[in-house]
A and B are shown apart, each in its own frame.
Chain A
Amino acid sequence: MSERRFYIDPSRCIGCNACVQACAECDTHAGVSMIHLETIQRGDTVQTTPVICMHCDEPACAAVCPADAIKRTSDGVVQSSLKPRCIGCTNCVFACPFGVPKYDAAIDQMMKCDMCYDRTSVGKKPMCATVCPSQALFYGTPEEIAERQGSPINAFVFGERTITTKVSLMVPAGTRQLTVRPDAVVRKTDLLTNTRTDR
C-alpha cells in the first residue's frame, strides 16, 4: 500500500463544521480549531469548503517568518510555530496564499494546522478526516482516490508563482493545475451593477 495522502474535495463539503469541531477537540490545542470552513461565494451559493494547511513545498509562512519559528519536518509537514520563537508578528497570516495560519492574541502566538502531527506521524488519520461524514476531507492512498470522480491536483498558480503542495485538491477530471485569478472573480453584485449601467 502506498503512502497515504491528504485530499480536499470541496464538491463533497456539506458545511456541517464537524471537521472544525473535531480539530478543536485535539489535546495539543484544546478548544481552539486550527481549520475553518470557507464559503465559496457567499452571495450566490451556500457551498463551503474546509480550509486546512496545504503544506507547501516552499512554505510562504516560513519564508516570511522573521523569528525562524515555522519549521517543516522531513516528511514535508509544515509545523505550527515554535512557542519560544514566535513573536506574534502575523507575517505568516498575511503571507499564506490559502489563509491557513491563525494568530491567537490571547497567547500572542500563531498556530496552524499541522495535519494532526501527533496522529499522522504514527499512522493515524487526522482528526478532521476521521469525522468528515461526506469525506470531503479524505486521508488515504492515491489508489483509493483514483476510484472517485475528479482528479487531484497540487499545483496552484498565483500570478507568476506556481505553488506546489503536499495536500491535494480534487478538481474536475483533466485539470492539471489551478490558476488563481482574484481579479477575474465575477460577483453577483457586479453583474447587477453592469446590468444597471447597460440600461
Chain B
Amino acid sequence: MNDRLRQDFPIDWEEDHYVSRREFFKFMTLASGGLAAGSVGMAAWAAIPKGERTFEAVRLASADSIAIGGSLAFRYPRPQDICLLIRREDGSFVAFSQRCTHLSCPVEYQSDKDRLYCPCHNGAFSAKDGSVLQGPPPHPLPQIMLEVREGDVYAVGVRHGGEA
C-alpha cells in the first residue's frame, strides 16, 4: 500500500509530476500555436483551386442521337459517379454530375426552364454552368468536360465549381 502510494506521491521532486505554472502556460501557448498554424495550413490548402481534372476520354454517344432538349444518363469517371449529358436548345452539349450537392439526390433536366432540378428539396442548378439557382445546395454541380470528335461526344474530365 505504502509503495503504491509513494509511486503516485513521491517525496523526491524529480519523480513527481508537478506541473508548474510556467510549464502549463508553455504547453498552452505551444498547443494553441500549433492549432493556429494548423488552421492556417488548412485554410491555405482549401484556397488552392481544385479546378479541372482530366480522365481517360470515354465515348458517350453520337451527337445526332440526342435530340434538342434531350438528355442521357451515364457514369463518369467512376462507375458510381452518375452523370447527365444534356443537349440544350441552342444545340450545344453540356454534362453535369447528377448528384445534387445538397444531399446527393439525383437531379433531372427540365428543358423548358433550362435547369437541373432536384425534387428532394426544391434545389435547382443552371444548365449553362451548373451554378445554384435556388434551394439549399451549397455548391454548383461538378461539370463534366466534353469534346465532340467526328460527330461523337466524349467525356474527358471533371470541373469542380467554386462556392455556390
Residues of A bordering B, CB below 8 Å? 59, 62-63, 68, 70-74, 79, 82
Contacts of A79 in B (CB 8 A): 13
CA–CA, A74 and B15, complex, Å: 10
A71 touching B9 by the CB < 8 A rule? Answer: no
Q: Mark B7-27, 1 if CB is under 8 A from A, else 0.
A: 001011110101000000000
Rounded to whole Å, the gap between the CB of A117 and the closest CB of chain B is 11
Rounded to whole Å, the gap between the CB of B15 and the closest CB of chain A is 10
B11 touching A74 by the CB < 8 A rule? Answer: no
CB contact list, B1-57 vs A, under 8 A: 9, 11-14, 16, 18
Contacts of A62 in B (CB 8 A): 11
A selection of 22 A-B contacts at a CB cut-off of 8 Å is A59-B11, A62-B11, A63-B11, A68-B9, A68-B16, A70-B11, A71-B11, A71-B12, A71-B13, A71-B16, A71-B18, A72-B11, A72-B12, A72-B13, A73-B12, A73-B13, A73-B14, A74-B12, A74-B13, A74-B14, A79-B13, A82-B18
Q: Using CB atoms, name the residue of chain A closest to B12.
A: A72
Closest 9 pairs (CB-CB, A-B): A68-B9, A62-B11, A71-B13, A73-B13, A72-B12, A74-B14, A72-B11, A59-B11, A72-B13
CA–CA, A63 and B18, complex, Å: 17
Q: Using CB atoms, name the residue of chain A closest to B2.
A: A63
| B-side interface mostly | loop
Contacts of A82 in B (CB 8 A): 18
Q: Using CB atoms, name the residue of chain A closest to B11.
A: A62
Rounded to whole Å, the gap between the CB of B22 and the closest CB of chain A is 13
Contacts of B11 in A (CB 8 A): 59, 62-63, 70-72
Rounded to whole Å, the gap between the CB of A16 and the closest CB of chain B is 34
Rounded to whole Å, the gap between the CB of A81 and the closest CB of chain B is 13
CA–CA, A73 and B14, complex, Å: 7
Contacts of B14 in A (CB 8 A): 73-74
CA–CA, A81 and B12, complex, Å: 13
CA–CA, A70 and B12, complex, Å: 9
CA–CA, A118 and B92, complex, Å: 87
Among B12, B14, B16, chain A packs the most CB atoms within 10 A around the CB of B12
CA–CA, A46 and B94, complex, Å: 112
Rounded to whole Å, the gap between the CB of A138 and the closest CB of chain B is 27
Rounded to whole Å, the gap between the CB of A89 and the closest CB of chain B is 15
Q: Using CB atoms, name the residue of chain B closest to A70.
A: B11
CA–CA, A79 and B13, complex, Å: 9
Q: 20 additional contacts, CB 8 Å, given A63-B11, A71-B18?
A: A59-B11, A62-B11, A68-B9, A68-B16, A70-B11, A71-B11, A71-B12, A71-B13, A71-B16, A72-B11, A72-B12, A72-B13, A73-B12, A73-B13, A73-B14, A74-B12, A74-B13, A74-B14, A79-B13, A82-B18
Contacts of B16 in A (CB 8 A): 68, 71
CA–CA, A62 and B14, complex, Å: 14
Contacts of B9 in A (CB 8 A): 68
Rounded to whole Å, the gap between the CB of B13 and the closest CB of chain A is 4
Q: Using CB atoms, name the residue of chain B closest to A67.
A: B9
CA–CA, A71 and B16, complex, Å: 9
Contacts of A72 in B (CB 8 A): 11-13
CA–CA, A59 and B18, complex, Å: 19
Contacts of A59 in B (CB 8 A): 11
Rounded to whole Å, the gap between the CB of A134 and the closest CB of chain B is 34
